[in-house]
Amino acid sequence: MPPCRGPPATGCRPWACTNGSTGSACEAASRLRGFGGDRITAAALPGCRARLSKTPSRPTKAGPVENHRALDRLPAEPAAQTERSMPHIVVVDPIHPDGIQRLLDAPGVTVDHPGNAASSDLAARLKDAEGLIVRGTVVDEALIAQAPKLKVVVRHGVGYDLVDVPALTKRGIALMITPEANAASVAEHALMLMLSIARRVLPVDAGVRRGEWRVKGQSQTFELGGRRVLILGFGRIGTRVARLCAAFGMKVGVHDPFMPAGTIRGAGYEVVKDRDEGLAAADIVTLHLPASDATRGMVNAAFLAAMKPGAVLINTARGTLVDEAALDAALRSGHLSGAGVDVLKVEPMVEVGPLLAHDSLVITPHVAASTAEGLQRMSWDSAGNAMGYLAGEYDIDAVVNREVVR
Residues with catalytic function: 318, 347, 366
Dist. CA 387–CA 166, nearest whole Å:
23
| CA–CA separation, 184 and 192 (whole Å) | 12
Rounded to whole angstroms, how far apart are CA atoms 268 and 246? 9
* Residue 107 and residue 81 in contact, taking contact as beta carbons nearer than 8 Å: no
Report long-range pairs for 293-300 (Cβ below 8 Å, ≥24 apart). 295/320, 295/321, 296/320, 296/321, 297/321, 297/322, 297/323, 299/323, 299/326, 299/327, 300/326
Q: How far apart are CA 179 and CA 187, in angstroms?
A: 13
End-to-end CA distance of the chain: 45
Q: Helix count (H) and strand count (E) of the chain?
A: 14, 15
Q: Are strands 70-71 and 110-112 parallel, antiparallel or unpaired?
A: antiparallel
Q: Which of 73, 50, 43, 76 is nearest to 60 (CA)?
A: 73
Phi, psi for 120 (deg, rounded to 5): -65, -25
Report how far residue 92's alpha carbon sits from residue 138's, in angstroms, rounded to the nearest whole number: 10
CB atoms within 10 A of CB 366: 19
Indicate the burial class of 52 (C-beta count within 10 angstroms; 0-12, 13-18, 19 or more): middle
Render 215-264 in DSSP notation, one character per residue. Answer: -TTGGG---STT-EEEEE--SHHHHHHHHHHHHTT-EEEEE-TTS-HHHH
Q: What is the DSSP letter of 320?
A: G
Report the SS3 class of residue 33: coil
Distance CA 250, CA 267 (A): 15
